[in-house]
Structure 1
């Protein structure tokens, strides 16, 4: 079985911060929406990149915890990661 499995709709949302961190550590590259704005996280060099869907607000982060400090539509990602609507993700 491959680690790169696209989860089916309805099972893609993150149930915990740990699940989100594990996803991006393993290269899951989630795309999610919060307050009508889409964001994406991808592996970049020795860290991670998070940005709006249009590329604005791009931020390079060294750790998953830094990614969780990113502000999404006025809220810290750490505070809302279990509430965002995940559009796609691997793992």
Structure 2
């Protein structure tokens, strides 16, 4: 789950996606990768972040899933974004 990205969304997603491919393989930092079907999830309050998440997911070969919209009132709706390894 990406709770905030400080303008480094593409970098964060690339690093996480690197861990998604093959079960048992290792990243340069020695951490194990996730298995098939791993997901990246992020909440977004801005259109720019939503578009950046979707574009980066596609660039990384991840499948962008439908957006879930959450709004407790008429202000500050939140989009919950999900991309997964196919």
Task: Give the TM-score of the pair, scaled to structure 1.
Answer: 0.28
Greater Rg, structure 1 or structure 2?
2
- Relative to its length, the structure with more strand (as a share) is 1
- Relative to its length, the structure with more helix (as a share) is 2
Higher relative contact order (CA 8 A, sep 6+): 1
